[in-house]
Structure 1
Amino acid sequence: MSDLMKSIGFRAEALGWDAYQGLFRSMGLERASDYGAKLLRTLGPKVSVHHVARVNMQIAFPEASERELDGLLDAMWDNFGRVVGEFPNMHRFDLGPNSDQVEVVGAEILAELDRQGRPAVLVGGHFANWEMLAAVIVQHMKDCRITYRHANNPLIDKRIIDQRKAYGINILAPKGGHGAKELMQALKAGASVGLMNDQKMNDGIAAPFFGRDAMTAAGPARMALRYDCPLVPMNVVRKDGARFKVTIYEPLPKPAGQDAAAILETVTTINRFIEDRIREAPSQWFWVHRRFEKPLYKMAKAEGA
């Protein structure tokens, strides 16, 4: 594709993004959340990742009936649709201490780390509206580098970064080699880092996840062990509509040393934390990532799962 055609494609996609943002912002927060839920409950089952989500659910809940899985899938799309509707309206959330939209439990853990000037590695997953995790972190810590995945379209990428700045996220670190160096430099300088640790990473390490080995990013574990930082897990749960509870947990236990065994043990501990949160609110995890080996999904599709 020529540079001209690529530029035209980027601009067309950006126009579509702006239309999406404008439509959902015009609705206001509550209506946008409700409309997004309705929309994705209709569209979600028609896309290919619906099959991926079902296979993941079968692995996690082998005793679940097909009817139960259907209900769980419907609820997952409801939740994701709400995320789609809420993202353009994140600036409308009240993140203050007396908010009736976002309850925060364990904020004193972040505040104490910040008071001590002690860096931490914060980990979470794609639950409920996961944008809430970063939004809460920046309310309680002066300096935290938060990872994100670049949008392929640079015009949309800039819009996303600017939008996040509007609700307080001023420091973002890209994923990849450059981002890893930036995060390590941040820890050396006394800043904390925040990462999602629930997706497959092909160049990660195999660690148990719902009874099967799953390639998992080892970066958070490596950084916490190398710099002797607290490994602080976080989670967000949707209580009702566009209302949430964010919980900051006590630091996870870490083994001594930095060898491969210590890293695997720490990654396994993180995976266990993610598993526990999934079991608590299974409809609120974003199930569509291929967390396990590819043949599982092909085999299930061939069998008509």
Structure 2
Amino acid sequence: MTQTAPKYIRPKDIDNRATFWQRVQWRLETIGWDLLYWGPMKLLGPDRASNFGGWLMKKIGPRLSQHKTVKRNLRLAFPDWTDVQIEQTALDAWESAGRVAGELPHLPSIDPYTSGRVDIVGLDVLDRLKASDKGAVFISGHFANWEIMPATITQRLPDAVMTYRALNNPHIDRRISDLRAAYGTQINAPKGVGTRELMRALAKGQTIALMNDQKFNEGVAVPFFGHDAMTAPGPTRLAMKYGVPIVPVSTVRTGPARFRITFHEPFMPETTGDETADIQRSVQRITDFIEEQVRANPDQWFWQHRRWPKEAWKAAGIT
């Protein structure tokens, strides 16, 4: 598929705050990225890179400070699990994260439609959206390799806008943007400055996609695994403002560099006239979907971030 130049958007404040030595560090990091990570992984091929990345992070992960966060999160989510179950799932979560890193250089060869590595369920959902010319808000979480979802959407809906968290290092951030473009995603909007892009897209009948499974301090408190978690209401607000459906998406790993992606049935947020209550219900519905997917494959979710406030850990007696 012939690609046009991607639309690259970057928050300028990240670069403007950088000191001279920060910029030097960025250059050195980029050299290390190219020589020690990207090049070697490319030589391995997708299957071996996935296996090696998983093996390596399973060794390194438990030595990192985030390992404590992973185990705390798992104890909070699964209070009936034994220490053995917690530790094994924590190791498997590190392996999953390592596989994502190993597969990243090979994304163009894991094409959802031509590589034979991705099973797509619910493709008719995309076709219906394309025929409607109305737009939609796709929501998902950091399941398996979450980079598979954008390409599956944008190769069917080329004008779709994907959100992402910009990396501090502008050189690596640009490399990732170019990779996503080669994979089929032409419009990447970073969180924060990308809000205008999302609104413009929906106003023109295009679709947008956002992750809705990470902590958002200014968000809405909704139960997640039985404990309140601050959750971004942005996807719901956008869907309500433009009168478009929310489409849940899940990704499951079925093998090294192999996946099953499912587009679930769209739903419209309720609009009863009580906006606060309507937003709360929709955010809860999205969060329930995320929880359902995590419970189905707990080893394939990104447990390394602090999804719940520290107070939740303390209330549960988790140290």
Tell me, yes or no, whether TM beats 0.5.
yes
Conserved in 2, the CA contact under 8 Å of 1:75 and 1:283?
yes
What do the CA deviations read for 1:274-293 (whole angstroms, capped 9, x no partner)? 00001111110011111111
What do the CA deviations read for 1:235-266 (whole angstroms, capped 9, x no partner)? 10001222100000001352124611100110
Change (3 A) 1:94 1:156: closer
Tell whether 2:166 aligns with 1:150: yes
- C-alpha displacement of 1:3: 3.8
- Aligned residue in 2 for 1:133: 149
What do the CA deviations read for 1:45-99 (whole angstroms, capped 9, x no partner)? 11111111111111111100000111111111111111010001111113226x4
AA matched with 1:249: H
Conserved in 2, the CA contact under 8 Å of 1:120 and 1:191?
yes
AA matched with 2:257: A
* Structure 2 counterpart of 1:64, from 81, 105, 110: 81
- Aligned residue in 2 for 1:84: 101
Tell whether 2:214 aligns with 1:199: yes
Q: How many residues align?
A: 301
* Structure 2 counterpart of 1:213, from 224, 228, 234: 228
Alpha-carbon distance in 1 for matches of 2:57, 2:19:
34
Tell whether 2:192 aligns with 1:172: no
Alpha-carbon distance in 2 for matches of 1:216, 1:94:
31
Alpha-carbon distance in 2 for matches of 1:174, 1:65:
39
3-state SS of 1:213 partner: strand
Conserved in 2, the CA contact under 8 Å of 1:52 and 1:297?
no
Tell whether 2:24 aligns with 1:32: no
* Structure 2 counterpart of 1:268, from 249, 269, 284: 284
Tell whether 2:209 aligns with 1:181: no
- C-alpha displacement of 1:160: 0.9
Runs of 4+ off more than 4 Å: 296-300
Conserved in 2, the CA contact under 8 Å of 1:203 and 1:217?
yes
AA matched with 2:119: E
Conserved in 2, the CA contact under 8 Å of 1:10 and 1:155?
yes
Change (3 A) 1:55 1:231: same
Change (3 A) 1:304 1:205: closer
3-state SS of 1:140 partner: coil
- C-alpha displacement of 1:304: 7.9
User: What does 1:114-125 align with in structure 2 at a 5 Å threshold?
Assistant: 114-125=130-141
- Aligned residue in 2 for 1:227: 242
What do the CA deviations read for 1:101-124 (whole angstroms, capped 9, x no partner)? 100001110111012212000000
AA matched with 2:290: I
What do the CA deviations read for 1:168-220 (whole angstroms, capped 9, x no partner)? 111111101x2112211110111110000000011111111111111001000
**Worse-superposed segment, 249-258 or 22-31:** 249-258
Question: Which consecutive unaligned segments of at least 5 residues does structure 1 have?
Answer: none
Tell whether 2:86 aligns with 1:74: no
**Worse-superposed segment, 39-48 or 88-97:** 88-97
| TM-score, structure 1 as length reference | 0.94
3-state SS of 1:84 partner: helix
* Structure 2 counterpart of 1:160, from 176, 182, 186: 176
AA matched with 1:181: R
Q: Percent identity?
A: 43
- C-alpha displacement of 1:6: 2.3
Conserved in 2, the CA contact under 8 Å of 1:225 and 1:257?
no
**Worse-superposed segment, 267-276 or 253-262:** 253-262
Question: Which consecutive unaligned segments of at least 5 residues does structure 2 have?
Answer: 1-16
AA matched with 1:29: P
AA matched with 1:43: I
AA matched with 2:131: R
Alpha-carbon distance in 1 for matches of 2:204, 2:93:
39
- C-alpha displacement of 1:2: 7.9
Conserved in 2, the CA contact under 8 Å of 1:252 and 1:269?
no
AA matched with 1:31: R
**CA RMSD of the aligned region, Å?**
1.8
- Aligned residue in 1 for 2:122: 106
